[in-house]
Chains A and B, each alone.
Chain A
């Protein structure tokens, strides 16, 4: 079992060991949950787009999600034990989102734990400010 942290949140996946290779080897199903991309014969696919995988990153219906993520030029960081992984957002992804000037959406809890989503405020002007106790 491993924990994957990404823009989609935090999820537990069944990590699989593939002999003598490092990486985040997941079933096609877990890979889709963790990345939003689906394993197909032509590679990892999202909508119309498919990214071919090198032979070292796929074995049957298992895929090395870490290798795939790096292929997308996105950061991958893990703990020493290989139990917790971060599939980070790429710089281009962030820059492109901001350049569109549409406020990136997010959902965060209030003090009571109730989630609030920024885009629910459409129709209002919004002053979004950060602060901290430290």
Chain B
């Protein structure tokens, strides 16, 4: 979030807004410290029901959508600056080799530079047909998963933990590609569980598939 504030500051004279949505079923208090630390001047919204992920077909965080001045999607959801380098981390020492740290930083810098370039010049905005090809495809299973997720979160919020968890588990079963659903459910069960042992097993099970598919942007924009 601090990097988004820097981006926002550097584009102050432009007609541009950042909308950072916290997919946070535990509610605003769990997002507060990050938003306050970043001293964010852009919109920081709290989305307990993961409504934005539902509407836009998002499956992970951070994912971003770019919109032009008329409200048209010019880049559908894609990974917003994160990379799979964390999978190379030494989990006992929780460290990443310097070259991987550097590569991760380069990717993040390149992504932010692309956003900046788009705001200033319009570059990287996709024509309609290309944008449509990039759209996620919502299946009936995903639509049903969203309904189970909504009910699970609601039941949990109203103290019906057992039944709520059953609906969250069903949501994850119906939409296994959604890290948001699985990790949010784990977090509701116990803070920290979303990045615990079960998470790493799930990441390993990806094999050659990416956790953060890289965006289709030039690696170096600057």
Kindly state whether residue A43 has any CB partner on chain B within 8 Å.
no
Kindly state whether residue A20 has any CB partner on chain B within 8 Å.
no
Task: Determine whether the beta carbon of B15 is less than 8 Å from that of A125.
Answer: yes
Kindly state whether residue A118 has any CB partner on chain B within 8 Å.
yes
* Residue in B4, B57, B142, B191 whose beta carbon sits within 8 Å of that of A98 in the complex: B57
Task: Determine whether the beta carbon of A102 is less than 8 Å from that of B132.
Answer: no
Task: Determine whether the beta carbon of B183 is less than 8 Å from that of A132.
Answer: yes
Interface size on A, residues (CB 8 A): 50
Task: Determine whether the beta carbon of A77 is less than 8 Å from that of B148.
Answer: yes
- A interface footprint on B59-82 (CB within 8 Å = 1, 0 otherwise): 001111111111111001000100
Interface size on B, residues (CB 8 A): 84
* Residue in A90, A98, A126 whose beta carbon sits within 8 Å of that of B143 in the complex: A90
Task: Determine whether the beta carbon of A124 is less than 8 Å from that of B17.
Answer: yes
> In the complex, which residues of chain A have a beta carbon less than 8 angstroms from the beta carbon of B22?
130-133
Q: How far is the CA of A89 from the CA of B146 in the complex (A)?
A: 8
> In the complex, which residues of chain B have a beta carbon less than 8 angstroms from the beta carbon of A132?
22-24, 31, 61, 180, 183-184
How far is the CB of A7 from the nearest CB of chain B, in Å?
Answer: 9
Q: How far is the CA of A128 from the CA of B19 in the complex (A)?
A: 5
Kindly state whether residue B198 has any CB partner on chain A within 8 Å.
no
Q: A98-B135, A111-B35 are in contact. Are A127 and B115 (CB under 8 A)?
A: yes
B interface list, Cβ under 8 A from A: 1, 4, 7, 14-24, 26, 28, 30-32, 34-36, 43-47, 51-58, 61-73, 76, 80, 115, 118-119, 128, 131-132, 135-140, 142-144, 146-148, 150-151, 154-155, 158, 160, 163, 167, 180, 183-184, 186-187, 191, 194-195
Could you list 8 examples of A-B contacts with CB < 8 Å?
A: A77-B144, A80-B163, A86-B150, A94-B138, A95-B135, A95-B138, A106-B55, A111-B44
A interface list, Cβ under 8 A from B: 3, 5, 10, 73-80, 84, 86-91, 94-95, 97-99, 101-104, 106, 108-111, 113, 116, 118-119, 121-134
